[in-house]
């Protein structure tokens, strides 16, 4: 059945902001690593097509296939485990028909869609032990596969998105309080044992990154080197920056003091070349996109639409906080792309897919809210 939409309900402002920040990302990527700029342009073109098409497809129709999406997602994650391509001590990519992509990025969107429909079908019995255990089991399986790649940072983002989804869905405050009462002390104890005695279940490089954050002077020439140089780069940009594609000898980027500046440390490139103004623009655009998702969530016609919008808002805000936090030394070094800005076709296209669905939810908003 074809759905009729009113053009005045289309959130062109959200569409324009997504394209604008992605274009800004292309310029930054071109300055950081010119050889991959062309691929990012292709990724944006594909992403815009997906976003445009999905914004006109009834999201309720897409959710009909939520079980199939979940199963396909598991298959892809399992394929990574047994036939994935390795890089930088991680096995996160697979190639199908000559196309290389990262299933863990797709996993974020799929889990948001899956739990949006699944929770809506169990809205009445959400807070029962049976339903909660099923939901937890359905989340743990793909999250464990991502963790084993290993990809701790993406797993943490998945956990944060999952928690925000349950909160939006109406999880009992008693359950939330009980989880916090148990989880916070356990987390503090684990951190204490890691720092004091070196007892950890983390990978060696993950442990060293945490220790470099807690003891930067000791690890300055090793794991802390990139974050230190990132701070120098951001600070050296001052108000207006040194300019894109500059050839300043003192540039941290030009001196190759930061590895892969087009991905994990793209914010450092923005700080150095566009200055405070450029960083401010990026943060404001991301904040406005998140705010728009939350506004659409408030006006959504059903719980599934509300969860999808809040899930996308959580994905963008959590991931942006981690990426910018790493670049500015606020949190330990970890590999997460800055949404819409960092190089990565899978990340950009999947985010555009999610935003296309958010736009469609906005087209079907309820009259009274």
> Which tens digit of pLDDT belongs to each residue from 129-182?
999 999 999 999 999 999 888 788 899 899 999 999 999 998 887 887 877 777
pLDDT (tens digit per residue) in 49-63: 999 999 999 999 999
Name the range with the highest mean pLDDT among 125-129, 249-253, 355-359: 355-359
Q: Can you tell me the mean pLDDT for 291-313? A: 95
Q: Which of 154, 74, 184 is nearest to 315 (CA)?
A: 154
The contacts of residue 199 (CB under 8 Å, 6+ apart) are 193
The CA-based angle 251-255-258, given to 5 degrees, is 95
State the pLDDT at residue 369: 43
Q: 53 near 8, Cβ under 8 Å?
A: no
User: Which of 79-93, 104-118, 346-360 shows the lowest mean pLDDT across its residues?
Assistant: 79-93
pLDDT in the model for residue 202: 60
Q: What is the pLDDT of residue 258?
A: 76
pLDDT of residue 308: 97
Q: What is the mean pLDDT of residues 257-277?
A: 88
Q: Please report how the helices 303-327 and 266-299 are oriented relative to each other, as an axis angle in degrees rounded to 10.
A: 160
Return the structure tokens found at 129: 């032990």
pLDDT beyond 90 at 320: yes
Which pLDDT does position 219 carry in this prediction?
Answer: 60
Q: Which residue has the higher pLDDT, 366 or 155?
A: 155
Least confident span in 75-79, 237-241, 360-364: 237-241
Closest by Cα among 366, 252, 241, 368 to 309: 366
Residue 95: count other Cβ atoms within 10 Å of its Cβ: 11
Mean pLDDT for the stretch of residues 220-238: 79
Task: Please compute the mean of the pLDDT values over residues 288-300 and round it to a whole number.
Answer: 95
User: Taking the model in full, what pTM does it have?
Assistant: 0.90
Tokens of 100: 């290389």
Kindly report which listed range (50-59, 160-169, 201-210, 256-265) carries the lowest average pLDDT score. 201-210
pLDDT band (50, 70, 90) for residue 359: very high
**pLDDT value of position 279:** 95
- Name the DSSP letter for residue 338: P
Highest mean pLDDT (candidates 68-77, 82-91, 215-224, 244-253): 68-77
Give yes or no for residue 265 having a pLDDT over 70. yes
pLDDT at 101 over 90: no
Q: Assess whether pLDDT exceeds 80 at residue 224.
A: no
Mean confidence (pLDDT) of the chain: 86
H helix intervals, the chain: 12-32, 37-54, 59-63, 66-83, 103-121, 129-147, 152-169, 173-197, 204-214, 225-236, 266-299, 303-327, 345-363
């Amino acid at each position: 059945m074809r759905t009729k939409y009113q053009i005045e309900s289309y959130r062109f402002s959200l569409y324009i902001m997504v394209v604008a920040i992605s274009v800004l990302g292309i310029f930054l990527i071109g300055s950081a690593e010119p050889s991959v700029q062309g691929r990012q342009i292709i990724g944006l073109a594909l992403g815009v097509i997906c976003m445009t098409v999905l914004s006109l497809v009834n999201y309720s129709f897409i959710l009909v296939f939520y079980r199939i999406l979940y199963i396909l997602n598991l298959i892809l994650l399992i394929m990574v485990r047994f036939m994935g391509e390795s890089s930088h001590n991680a096995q996160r990519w697979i190639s199908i028909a000559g196309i290389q992509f990262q299933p863990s990025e797709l996993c974020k969107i799929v889990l948001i869609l899956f739990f949006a429909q699944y929770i809506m079908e169990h809205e009445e019995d959400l807070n029962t032990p049976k339903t909660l255990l099923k939901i937890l089991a359905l989340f743990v399986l793909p999250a464990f596969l991502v963790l084993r790649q290993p990809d701790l940072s993406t797993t943490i983002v998945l956990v944060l998105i999952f928690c925000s989804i349950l909160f939006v869905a109406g999880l009992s405050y008693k359950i939330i309080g009980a989880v916090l009462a148990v989880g916070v002390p356990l987390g503090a104890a684990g951190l204490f044992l890691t720092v004091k005695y070196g007892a950890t279940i983390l990978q060696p490089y993950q442990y060293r990154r945490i220790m470099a954050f807690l003891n930067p002077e000791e690890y300055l020439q090793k794991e802390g080197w990139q974050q230190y140089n990132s701070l120098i780069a951001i600070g050296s940009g001052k108000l207006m920056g040194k300019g894109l594609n500059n050839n300043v000898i003192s540039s941290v980027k030009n001196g190759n003091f930061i590895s892969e500046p087009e991905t994990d440390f793209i914010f450092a490139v923005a700080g150095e070349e566009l200055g405070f103004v450029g960083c401010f623009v990026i943060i404001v655009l991301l904040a406005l996109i998140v705010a728009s998702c939350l506004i659409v969530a408030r006006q959504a016609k059903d719980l599934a639409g509300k969860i999808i919008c809040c899930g996308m808002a959580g994905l963008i805000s959590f991931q942006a906080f981690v990426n910018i936090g790493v670049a500015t030394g606020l949190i330990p070094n970890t590999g997460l792309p800055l949404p819409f800005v960092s190089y990565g076709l899978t990340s950009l296209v999947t985010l555009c897919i999610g935003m296309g669905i958010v736009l469609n939810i906005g087209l079907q908003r309820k009259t009274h809210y």
